[in-house]
Amino acid sequence: MEKALVVNNLKLYYYTSAGIVKAVDDISFDLNEGETLGLVGESGCGKTTTGFALLGMPTPPGKISGGEIIIDDQNIVKFSENELRKKVRWEKISMVFQGAMNCLTPVYTVGELMTETYLQHRPDTPKDVIYKQIIKYLNLVGLADDIYSRYPHELSGGMKQRVVIATALFLEPKIVILDEPTTGLDVVVQAQILNLIKELKQNLSISSIFITHDLATEAEISDRICVMYAGKVMEIGTNEQIYGRKNLHPYTEKLLSATPLLHKRVDELSFIPGVPPDLIDPPKGCRFYERCHVHMDKCKNEEPTMKEIEDGHYICCWRY
Ligand SMILES: Nc1ncnc2c1ncn2[C@@H]1O[C@H](COP(=O)(O)OP(=O)(O)OP(=O)(O)O)[C@@H](O)[C@H]1O
Ligand SMILES: [Mg+2]
């Protein structure tokens, strides 16, 4: 299968006055062309940080501290800021930022906001070409032409999220990262946005990374799932391997037990005791050791390595 993206040993650390936060610490995964890869894990495990790293755009005081991000046979970690802006962001990979629909500047119309984004990436494009492209993508996400001249406060949450998705797509990148695109929307609108993303995937044959803390949503949308915990990748598997619930990482098992799924009674839900470790001084063994219900002595001091336990199913745990 052709790869849209390959990530090798990627690290993104935040150099804060309190110490170095190892938010993304030596992670590796890939994204096949045309697939949706789900990135899941508890709050603070490094999902958004991974997304920013893939754009080559760490937020201060963050820096990519090692590893490779390969798109079209090129390691974009080595690119200058100028090259990233001209050749990578929005040209090859874009992102629907977490909470972006709540941050649309209220004094500009949708058309003005989208034109501005377009010009930032392709400054010399004539206005009529941009206009046509905006209308095409507003229509593609199910919005009428008149949305172009409306202000964000005139739109519902679902409409704003569609505008944000259109803005991530209208320069036609081959990869899009969607960071919690349905969080904060009511369940009906959530379902509409999920259906829209599925349709776009089929019509545009785009590869996507779908970030959420919600495994039930991920089951709906993703072909494969990548589970993160405390800055590390703990498990990668196909939708069937993960939701089939055989041979899982203990963390994934616990996450699934805490997720309301259709076939499960609500009184069967459990929670994961404890909290994730401090990422300034993470444990030297397995980062899940303290909260793991099946840990062994070895897990405390020795960091597990990733193993392929069946075709395409990778687990980072000493039990395997
Ligand atoms: N700009 C920053 N400066 C310092 N630390 C940061 C910064 N941004 C994120 N972090 C830290 O990096 C870690 C990972 O954060 P990140 O936002 O990537 O998590 P997340 O998995 O996206 O969480 P959520 O599900 O809540 O969105 C956290 O410990 C967070 O506090
Ligand atoms: Mg996040």
- DSSP secondary structure letters along 56-82: T-PPTTEEEEEEEEEETTEEGGGS-HH
- Mean pLDDT over each residue of the chain, to the nearest integer: 94
Ligand nearest to the CA of 232: 1
pLDDT at 245: 85
- What are the pocket residues of ligand 1 if the criterion is a CB atom closer than 6 Å to any ligand atom? 14, 16, 21, 23, 41, 43-49, 59, 61-62, 98, 213, 279
Sheet with 175-179, edge to edge strand ranges: 93-96, 175-179, 207-211, 36-40, 224-229, 232-238, 313-316, 306-310
Position 222 pLDDT exceeds 70: yes
Kindly indicate whether the domain formed by 3-92+173-316 is annotated with CATH number 3.90.79.10.
no
Position 269 pLDDT exceeds 90: no
pLDDT in tens, 134-183: 999 999 999 999 999 999 999 999 999 999 999 999 999 999 999 999 98
Give the C-alpha separation, 39 to 89, whole Å: 20
Span from the CA of 292 to the centroid of ligand 2 (angstroms) = 23
For 303, counting Cβ atoms within 10 Å of its Cβ (0-12 exposed, 13-18 middle, 19+ buried), the class is middle
pLDDT at 253: 95
pLDDT in tens, 14-49: 999 999 999 999 999 999 999 999 999 999 999 999
How many other CB atoms are found less than 10 A from the CB of residue 186?
A: 12
Span from the CA of 45 to the centroid of ligand 2 (angstroms) = 8
**What is 241-266 written as a DSSP string?**
HHHTTSS--HHHHHHHHTS--TTS-G
Residue of minimum CA distance from atom 6 in ligand 1: 14
Atom of ligand 1 nearest to the CA of 231: 14
Mean pLDDT of 200-215: 92
Give the C-alpha separation, 235 to 256, whole Å: 13
Ligand nearest to the CA of 42: 1
pLDDT at 170: 96
How much of the chain exceeds pLDDT 90, in percent? 87
What stretches of the chain adopt beta strand conformation (E)? 3-16, 19-32, 36-40, 62-71, 74-75, 93-96, 175-179, 207-211, 224-229, 232-238, 306-310, 313-316
pLDDT in tens, 35-88: 999 999 999 999 999 999 999 999 999 999 999 999 999 999 999 999 999 999
For 152-171, b where at least 16 C-beta lie within 10 A, e where not — what string? beebeebbbbbbbbbbbbbb
Amino acid (one-letter) located at 177: I
Ligand nearest to the CA of 96: 2
Residue of minimum CA distance from atom 5 in ligand 1: 14
pLDDT at 87: 94
| Pocket mutation for ligand 1, best pick of 49, 52, 98 (most atoms within 8 Å of C-beta) | 49
Position 264 pLDDT exceeds 70: no
How much is the pTM? 0.95
Position 103 pLDDT exceeds 80: yes
Band (pLDDT 50/70/90 cuts) for residue 270 is confident
Atom of ligand 1 nearest to the CA of 279: 29
pLDDT at 262: 61
Atom of ligand 1 nearest to the CA of 59: 1
- Every domain of the chain and the residues it spans: 3-92+173-316
